[in-house]
Structure formats: C-alpha cells, structure tokens
Amino acid sequence: MPETIAAQRSMEGMINQDGAKLIIATSFGYFDPHVLKIAAKYPDVTFAHCGGIWKPGMPENVGTFYGYIFSAQYLSGILAGHMSKSKKLGVVAAKPTPNLIRSINAFALAARSVDPSITVQVIFTGEWTNPVREAESATSLIDQGADVIACHVDSPKVVVETAEKRGVMSCGYHSSQADLAPKGYLTGAEWNWIVPYTDFLDRARAKQPLEHYLRGGLAANFVKTGPIGAAVTPAARAALEQARGKLISGETVIFSGPLKDNKGNIVVPAGTVHKENDRALDPINYLVDGVTGQA
C-alpha cells in the first residue's frame, strides 16, 4: 500500500521538517488507521480529518469534519424533478459509502416529492475518480432515458460535459460546473470548505478545545447550491428557494418516516424523523424506494 505509506510520510514530514501544528487531512480513506496512528505518535499536533467519525477512545488531538452535502443534493433533486420530462433521472456515484448513499437518497426523495412517478437510477463506478467509467456511466444512463444526470464523484467535469454533449440536463458537484454546460446545467451541490478550515484554525490559534465531530449544513454555510442554470424555469427556481427555506428552518426533514428502501422494507418508521445532524444516519446503507441500484 505505497500510497498510504506516502500519506503517513507526508504528514510526518510536515511535522518534523515544517513544524506544522495543525494538519487538515482531506482524503476519506486515510482516517483509520493512518491519521489515527500519526496522531497518537504526535499528541501535540492537531489533526482534522474530512469525513472521519471520531469516537471515544481515539486520540484526543483528532477532529473530524464534514458537511451535510445531502441537503444541497436534495435541492438539486427539487430542480431535477421539476425540469425532467422523461421522469427518469440518473446519478453517477463513486462508492456506496454512507455519505454518498445519503446524498443519492436525498436527491431521489426531493425529485419524487415533486412527482412520485419519477425514478432514479444510480451507477457506482467503484472509484473516486475514473473519467472513462464516469463517461460510460453517464452515457448508459442517458441511453436508458434519463434526461437529468446528477453526480457524486471527484471528477464531475466529465459527467456534466457528457450530459451537455448528449443534450440532456445535469446537476454538478463539488464546485460550479455551470460554464461547462451553458444549455443543460441546472445547479450543483457545492462545498464551502473554508468554513470548517477556519473553525479548526481559529480554535488552534486561540488554544480552545478541539471539536471532535464538526458538522454543518445549509444554515451554517458548510454546503450550498451552485449557480442556477439558464434552462431552469421560474417555477422550478421558486420551488428550490421554498425548499431551501424549509430545510433551513427545520420544517422539512429529509429522512422522515414512513420511508421504505428499494426492496420494500420500512427503514424509517412512521413518526420517526432523522434530522440532518442525527447520528443514526452515519451508518446508512440502503437506497430509498424509487432508486434503481445496489448499495
């Protein structure tokens, strides 16, 4: 595993050679054991890892952070639901991790709140970045009738460009891809990483206690929606803004029962709600009703 050894050496190099006192690790796969191992070795250095889940017993100098990106994906789903004519949506995703599964489900729940007849097909590429497979997946979804393609991969450029070339609409991810698809881009689920980075930096400078589990959504500006594309109708735009307001106020809770998975099982009973900060969503491993795919 040369890449993991390189990651550990890089962190140790920043500490021993550069005198780093705060290291922000952004690669999802290296939290356990790699970040935890180095953190235990250097207790006077603060580590902040993106996507990891800190638990009691782990090094006290480790913090984890992540945004509720599924809330922004929900808003993309609202636009997709309003704009789709075929009532078939597609999602190109990397791996079936809980973070991605939450986003796919939120996108689908939003679209189906607009029209329950809408279906969402997801294809997992198996890799965070694989431009060839991403292009193939987007093409396959379009060939099967999807007229809006969303994505949750580290290289959304390929998916958005493929959709634009094929004349269908798209929803981006990470940062704005609006310039890549002037005709079909609807919006995207975007990160605002400066918010958690600044939080950890300010705490370190002020010698304040470390936040082990730092999370935030739309209200905290951890996540946001991208530019609204020219193709979006006024009615769809108004629906997005209404949905945004209800999410921020708490009037809308995305994972509210009764909720079934795509195998017909009740996964959230009637009367149960899982707010965006509910830790019950951390291990989510099901795709909701209306989604074609295997988690």
Asked whether residue 40 falls in the same domain as residue 114, the answer is no
What domain range includes position 165? 69-190+223-249+277-292
8 A C-beta contact, residue 136 and residue 104? no
Q: Tell whether 149 is covered by a domain.
A: yes
The last residue of a domain, from among 20, 44, 67: 67
Q: What is the percent of the chain with per-residue pLDDT over 90, rounded to a whole number?
A: 87
pLDDT of residue 4: 61
pLDDT of residue 85: 98
pLDDT band at 5 (very low <50, low <70, confident <90, very high): low
Buried b (16+ CB within 10 A) or exposed e, 98-127: ebbbbbbbbbbbbbbbbeeebbbbbbbbee
What residues contact 166, with CB distance under 8 A and at least 6 apart? 138, 139, 142
Q: Is the pLDDT of residue 33 over 70?
A: yes
Asked whether residue 101 falls in the same domain as residue 243, the answer is yes
pLDDT of residue 2: 54
Number of domains within the chain: 2
DSSP 56: B
Asked whether residue 100 falls in the same domain as residue 58, the answer is no
Q: What is the percent of the chain with per-residue pLDDT over 70, rounded to a whole number?
A: 98
Tell me the whole-structure pTM to 2 decimals: 0.91
Asked whether residue 73 falls in the same domain as residue 63, the answer is no
Q: What does the chain come to in residues?
A: 295
Instruction: Render pLDDT for 105-117 as a digit per residue (tens, 0 to 9).
Output: 999 999 999 999 9
Asked whether residue 74 falls in the same domain as residue 176, the answer is yes
Q: Tell whether 214 is covered by a domain.
A: no
What residues contact 99, with CB distance under 8 A and at least 6 apart? 28, 51, 66, 69, 70
CA distance 106 to 286: 12
Q: Tell whether 142 is covered by a domain.
A: yes
CA distance 128 to 130: 7
Q: Is the pLDDT of residue 13 over 80?
A: no
Asked whether residue 55 falls in the same domain as residue 91, the answer is no
Is the peptide bond prior to 56 cis by the omega test (within 30 degrees of 0)?
A: no
Q: Is the pLDDT of residue 1 over 70?
A: no
Q: Tell whether 59 is covered by a domain.
A: yes
Q: Tell whether 18 is covered by a domain.
A: yes
52: domain CATH number is 3.40.50.2300
Asked whether residue 92 falls in the same domain as residue 61, the answer is no
Asked whether residue 129 falls in the same domain as residue 89, the answer is yes
pLDDT of residue 196: 95
Averaged pLDDT, 26-30: 79
Tokens of 291: 């989604």
Instruction: Render pLDDT for 179-223 as a digit per residue (tens, 0 to 9).
Output: 999 999 999 999 999 999 999 999 999 989 999 999 999 999 999
Q: Is the pLDDT of residue 39 over 80?
A: yes
